[in-house]
Structure 1
């Protein structure tokens, strides 16, 4: 095997532009919702590209796709690369799909170089990572990892009442392979950062250490709707006032646990939502995140106290429940080291980073050695038609993916040989 081989950056860029047409929007963004017609189109395209390389493409019962290139060592578990093809309704052309196209480019490059790895290599497309059509997010990888059952996944509904299972059948991607039965030995996921850190520090590669933990709360505040002009201030039970104090408290709690904590309220409903009526009911969602579960627990306790205090001060009642809780994830040391070494070998500026967003790698890390590779997002934008990662940054990420996978393959092959000896 040669010391270095290079991916084809122009070919990679071509695939990025080509696949952006599946669900492409006039403003340059992409709306490719899970199991939609556009999702089928890009899946069909991916299957054709993989089959052109002579790869077998397996599809499991929830639509996860696996294209495997054989290795030299029979019976060795594959090293997987990939991410997801679905987007947000106002998505861009890099989120998720860059990891799939990067894996495809790695396989094409190895074919051209005539290189066969020790372990098989598997390109993966996980179904419904975004969760924008069917909730929860990361559904396909969650079924693979045993977090959710296939029946649970297939029962999820979209806003029009269509089930995940019906949509899966509708595009012909309910596979005959049992969910979770395709064996994998490790996973490397290339992804855009979706944040501003790499760009701000002029780093091209993010060596992802893990994913921060998450707590979501649904909060309902009940006061009393009344006329704004005739109700004295001292007699008001303003649910929106309590909500405002909670929003400020969530921000303060996150700042009190700097620099890694984040917290926000991104969803709020006020009723009756009339200009001259004091809001009698408010529902909001609190999002708290931190890479240390113990700190996240402290933040959650502080926010729960703040909710109670805000309700008391505004003379309203508060009910809240935790609707999502994800523990912080630490990725595999050997996989991380392979990425760090690959970036250094290629001369790319890199920095260690924690993922602020959830990814399919969260679920896979429960089962196999896993890590992620980040490349910059211009302006920190993602889930936005304007999201952009420069061509040379995309190419750098795929080059590091190739080099890291090859290094990991050599290292694990040497470990197997040593153990056998």
Structure 2
């Protein structure tokens, strides 16, 4: 039996082709979930699945996977990730995991290797949550953590569209029921999206789990008034309250220390005029931590600070939860397999948690799940200049292939 190996030219060709879909001037891509560019990317993915002889399945939330049969029936070993991006995304975030799955199957086909168990390659809907919140939506519905009807009714963050309508419009509301299949095991290859592996000169990250994520949207309502004639003591300035919340989020992260992080990603003032006291402000706060108790404590402190700031300024405050996922621990035995596969290839390896959310966390409660990380140059991600060296991409895909082959059981 010929040992299967990753083809660098094939892997890179698929990554470049997907990068052409929704390409941005100056580099990077924009394939927001359920946009026309996302539809084109899905069409290309389906074409590749069919060309490899896989049976294509699409479920009711638009998740797509191709199934390579095994000698035995049963749940597959699944490789998955996503092809949707943020508005200024890079070439590898999410897409690498899907393209590596395709290359893995082609490597097995080329080596004429059969497996005892089936193998599936999947792309999940709206992992990023950039256009529709929450993130990890497709995998969440797939694994029963999120409600299909509620997700279909989700309105876009800019208010312009409803998810279910867009899913229908692009033709990817499939017939397969939600939560219809849990794999034998789930694996995901991803760029680190952080600086640790590159800084330490390590080739492979064996990911031990994912931080808990809390997204909250605050809306503050004050009173619009003239910036020159309204005394400071008589203002109801929504912008001031928003600033207080942003500063509170930063202080919470600093006081808690690593790995607590806090980010204000959206901040909008209305009417947004230089000489008018803001009547309304909207901002989002992203809190993350590896421990549930600390994440909950940070959430409570943030809410108390927001309420106090609004009361002090005489403004009304509403808070809406956009997403909330608890910390996840990946299967230790599967993490061990990844580390062992890396060492067998003479690659340096580091066990590490993920600071970003991933589809793998939705599978972890229901089946063995784990992730493989490869370095991100400069730690950049969600950035058009995101980059990972070709040798690192291939190394990660090869480790993924070795682990999947071990789990699926090669048959001579």
Q: 3-state SS of the aligned residue for 1:15?
A: helix
> Match for residue 397 of structure 2?
398
> Match for residue 107 of structure 1?
105
Cα distance, 1:302–1:165 mapped onto 2, change above 3 Å: closer
> Match for residue 407 of structure 2?
408
> Match for residue 343 of structure 2?
344
Could you list the per-position Cα deviations for residues 82-119 of structure 1 after superposition, in whole angstroms to 9, with x for gaps in the alignment? 21122222222211111010011111111222222221
Cα distance, 1:337–1:315 mapped onto 2, change above 3 Å: same
Q: Distance in 1 between matches of 2:198 and 2:79?
A: 24
Q: Does 1:127 align with 2:125?
A: yes
| Aligned 8 A contact 1:338 1:405 in 2 | no
How far is 1:307 from its partner? 2.3
How far is 1:379 from its partner? 2.2
> Match for residue 209 of structure 1?
208
| Aligned 8 A contact 2:198 2:378 in 1 | yes
Cα distance, 1:38–1:232 mapped onto 2, change above 3 Å: closer
Cα distance, 1:318–1:209 mapped onto 2, change above 3 Å: same
Cα distance, 1:30–1:363 mapped onto 2, change above 3 Å: same
Could you list the per-position Cα deviations for residues 340-371 of structure 1 after superposition, in whole angstroms to 9, with x for gaps in the alignment? 11111112222222222222112222321111
Cα distance, 1:182–1:324 mapped onto 2, change above 3 Å: closer
How far is 1:382 from its partner? 1.9
Q: Distance in 2 between matches of 1:134 and 1:393?
A: 32
* Residues 3-402 of structure 1 aligned to structure 2 (within 5 Å): 5-72=4-71, 74-158=72-156, 161-314=160-313, 316-402=315-401
Could you list the per-position Cα deviations for residues 197-248 of structure 1 after superposition, in whole angstroms to 9, with x for gaps in the alignment? 2222222222111111122233333444443333444444433233323222
| Aligned 8 A contact 2:290 2:327 in 1 | yes
How far is 1:53 from its partner? 2.5
Residue ranges of structure 2 left out of the alignment (5+ in a row): none
How far is 1:184 from its partner? 1.6
TM-score normalized with structure 1 length: 0.89
Q: 3-state SS of the aligned residue for 1:20?
A: helix
How far is 1:16 from its partner? 0.9
Residue ranges of structure 1 left out of the alignment (5+ in a row): 414-421
How far is 1:253 from its partner? 1.0
Q: Distance in 1 between matches of 2:162 and 2:317?
A: 33
Cα distance, 1:164–1:271 mapped onto 2, change above 3 Å: closer
Q: Distance in 1 between matches of 2:147 and 2:232?
A: 52
TM-score normalized with structure 2 length: 0.91
How far is 1:402 from its partner? 0.7
| Aligned 8 A contact 1:84 1:100 in 2 | yes
Q: Distance in 2 between matches of 1:230 and 1:171?
A: 52
* Number of equivalenced pairs: 410
How far is 1:175 from its partner? 2.4
Cα distance, 1:149–1:376 mapped onto 2, change above 3 Å: same
| Aligned 8 A contact 2:134 2:322 in 1 | no
| Aligned 8 A contact 2:287 2:295 in 1 | yes
Q: Which moved more, 1:80-89 or 1:25-34?
A: 25-34
Q: Distance in 2 between matches of 1:183 and 1:215?
A: 26
Q: Distance in 1 between matches of 2:229 and 2:39?
A: 58
Q: Distance in 2 between matches of 1:233 and 1:35?
A: 46
